Amino acid sequence: MRSAGAMLTLLTLSLPAQAQDPVVQGRQIVEEFCGPCHATGKTGASPHADAPPFRTLARSFDLDRFPQLLERGISSNHPDMPEFKFNEASARAVRDYLRTVQAEPEPRPEPQR
């Protein structure tokens, strides 16, 4: 649960960012910090019923701009969602990983003639 003003800051990781593939690093970050609530892969339901699966984030967010959101701090109005703030390298790694799991856009119906 989120307490007033609580913020998790992801400034360091167990492995040096420059020595690790950003996609692998991003996957590790989202699995550790987001996985308890969100589905973080290409399939599967989110453990928390109200948490959207990450494979659909590109439908709501521009992934090119997503690192800036993560660096400023991302939060939700949902009481179970803590506030997160990422450093630049971690934010970009998360974005790089999220790009690999995005679902194909839902097909739009053909206009009727």
pTM for this predicted structure: 0.75
The amino acid occupying position 100 is: T
Q: What is the mean pLDDT of the chain?
A: 82
All domains of the chain, ordered by start, with CATH?
Answer: 8-101 (1.10.760)
For residue 37, the 8-state DSSP code is T
Tens digits of residue pLDDT in 72-107? 987 777 778 888 889 999 999 999 999 999 987 666
* 3-state SS class at 4: coil
Whether the pLDDT of residue 58 is over 70: the answer is: yes
* 3-state SS class at 5: coil
